[in-house]
């Protein structure tokens, strides 16, 4: 008998959303384990020693395998079922990896900085670092310009079907209204994301999950962004 794989995370997390969306699209069942990030549950000694020493989610548990980093988890799941989310030719698979690595280093990292400054610090009642926000916004804008050009006349980042590259690059849209990332001025990027929401019910369902969780948490602590 095979055990259902477990995924640890908080429904307010855009990183968890990348995994839960991909799993739904691939028809892979995951048992959800709720880790309340607003209560710091990923920062406990137990979490760090058992699941991820960095204190971050999502984390996948598959038997004796513990895996963190949403991109690595998605590649692992997709390999298991040889999913077209990996790309459908060798060339496409390499391009999918190219955009996934790029996304981690040059795209999501700056959106996380802006999220931490605008949302995290507001919740914690700490002063924002406006210079850091301006720096990260500059990085996001120049990356978004390249994405916008790439997406001209295309519906997907690679080839003509959804891949893990789309999910990784779409991640900042999970918090765009709360953190006000400067990505709404790029028409091809916005149209590509609208198409993902329309065409993939899993992406829309997990958006609702993130929004519900974030909005009710922010309301519970009396924060209006």
Chain contacts with ligand GSH (rule: CB under 6 A):
13-15, 37, 42-43, 55-58, 69-71
Residue 70 Cβ vs ligand GSH, minimum distance, rounded to whole Å: 4
In this structure, are residues 57 and 65 in contact, taking their beta carbons and an 8 Å threshold? Answer: no
Nearer to ligand GSH, 48 or 93 (CB): 48
Residue 1 Cβ vs ligand GSH, minimum distance, rounded to whole Å: 29
- Residue 9 has φ and ψ, to the nearest 5°, of 175, 180
Residue 204 Cβ vs ligand GSH, minimum distance, rounded to whole Å: 19
Percent helix, strand, coil in the chain (nearest 5)? 60, 10, 30
Measured over the CA atoms of residue 181, residue 168, residue 116 and residue 10, the dihedral's sign is positive
Peptide bond into 80 cis (omega under 30): no
Nearer to ligand GSH, 44 or 155 (CB): 44
CB atoms within 10 A of CB 184: 14
The H or E element containing residue 10 is none
Nearer to ligand GSH, 15 or 206 (CB): 15
Radius of gyration of the chain (CA): 17
Residue 151 Cβ vs ligand GSH, minimum distance, rounded to whole Å: 22
Nearer to ligand GSH, 17 or 193 (CB): 17
Nearer to ligand GSH, 71 or 97 (CB): 71
Residue 109 Cβ vs ligand GSH, minimum distance, rounded to whole Å: 8
Strand partners, 9: 34
In this structure, are residues 112 and 104 in contact, taking their beta carbons and an 8 Å threshold? Answer: no
């Amino acid at each position: 008998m095979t055990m259902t794989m477990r995924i640890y995370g908080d429904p307010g997390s855009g990183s968890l959303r990348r995994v839960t969306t991909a799993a739904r699209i691939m028809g892979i069942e995951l048992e959800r384990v709720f880790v309340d990030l607003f209560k710091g549950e990923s920062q406990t000694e137990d979490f760090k020693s058992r699941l991820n020493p960095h204190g971050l989610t999502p984390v996948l548990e598959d038997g004796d395998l513990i895996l963190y980093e949403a991109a690595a988890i998605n590649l692992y799941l997709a390999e298991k079922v040889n999913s077209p989310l990996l790309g459908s030719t060798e060339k496409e698979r390499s391009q999918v990896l190219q955009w996934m690595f790029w996304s981690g280093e040059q795209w999501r990292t700056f959106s996380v900085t802006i999220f931490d400054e605008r949302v995290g610090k507001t919740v914690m009642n700490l002063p924002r670092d406006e210079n850091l926000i301006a720096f990260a916004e500059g990085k996001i804008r120049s990356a978004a310009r390249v994405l916008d050009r790439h997406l001209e006349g295309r519906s997907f980042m690679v080839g003509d079907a959804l891949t893990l590259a789309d999910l990784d690059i779409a991640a900042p849209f999970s918090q765009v209204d709360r953190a006000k990332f400067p990505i709404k001025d790029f028409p091809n990027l916005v149209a590509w994301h609208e198409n993902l929401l329309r065409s993939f019910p899993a992406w829309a369902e997990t958006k609702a999950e993130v929004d519900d969780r974030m909005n009710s948490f922010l309301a519970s602590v009396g924060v209006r962004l």
